[in-house]
Amino acid sequence: MKHFKTISEYCEGINIAPPKHPHFDIRNFEENMLTVHSQMPVFRHEFYALAIKSDGDGKVVAGQFSNFPEGVIVFFNTPFQLISWDILPNWKGYYLMFSQDFVVQSNILSQLLKLFPFLKMEKSIPFEISSDQLKTILSIYKSVWEEYNGSSPDKFQIIEAQVYLLLSIIKRLFEQQVDHETAKSGLKTADLKLLSRYQTLIQTSFYPNTKLETFANLHSTSYYAQKLSVHPNHLNSVVKTLTGITALNHIHNHLLILSKSYLAQTTWSVKEIAFTLFFDSPNNFSAFFKRKTGNTPLEYRQQVNL
């Protein structure tokens, strides 16, 4: 299965021109129809996508949802969602994409998932809209497209505000058209999935031979949030709500389990264990261990080896 980590990789993968910005892109579908692959097997990407289809034929599957309604629809994709399509080259409308990096640097969108929780839903429910709603939403997409393709130095300030407006309108549609219990269940499922992915990512990041990025800080929730394409505050909120402890405590608990295992089952020095667990220094490791257990690493080793 293909996995596109950047918008540039995605554009190359579906055979369209590269984006003008690494973390944001907007196209009208007509731009893509001459070159885009009309059939795409299942793939994933790591960003948010919002689209309006005013016309076009074929089938798109996003997450668990494959039965798109007839007529004019608005639909969205979330990071890591499974997507595939088999379409005819007659689509009309717009779509825009933005990455977590775009969200983090934005004052307006930094609380994206708190303000617009429908973006967490795996089902990615499409909305059928009226002709009046079509006119309103198309006008926003057109404004974003014009700003994006313009040369004003402050264009992304305008784009962020326009995206916020677009998301607000889609949120209203979501609340009008989706059953409350269905939405509530979907959001709960999304939170549980995020928690599971977070816990798994912590564990696998500390595996021997795991290849890590140069910026990797395995002791920081911000690192895992970036890998999961969510804001650190949102990650912490979900984890604490579901487990009763903070996202940082989950990291510390895993570090403590690994520390005790190495101290009890190996003859490695404190220095070797400290660097294996990505502490800056043996002193920082020892301070962490004593704060959590009341003993120094060597005192703990002596106790378990009596």
Domain locations in the chain as residue ranges: 2-178, 179-306
Helix 282-293 vs helix 297-304: crossing angle, to nearest 10: 60
pLDDT at 118: 75
Is domain 2-178 annotated with CATH 2.60.120? Answer: yes
| Helix boundaries (H) for the chain | 7-14, 29-32, 100-104, 112-115, 131-148, 155-177, 180-205, 221-227, 232-243, 247-265, 270-276, 282-293, 297-304
* Residues with pLDDT less than 70, the chain: 63-69, 120-125, 177-189, 306
Residue-wise pLDDT tens digits, 21-61: 999 999 999 999 999 999 999 888 888 899 999 988 888 87
Homologous superfamily of the 179-306 domain (CATH): Homeodomain-like (1.10.10.60)
Residue-wise pLDDT tens digits, 193-228: 888 889 989 989 998 888 888 878 999 999 998 888
pLDDT at 130: 84
pLDDT at 182: 59
pLDDT at 125: 66
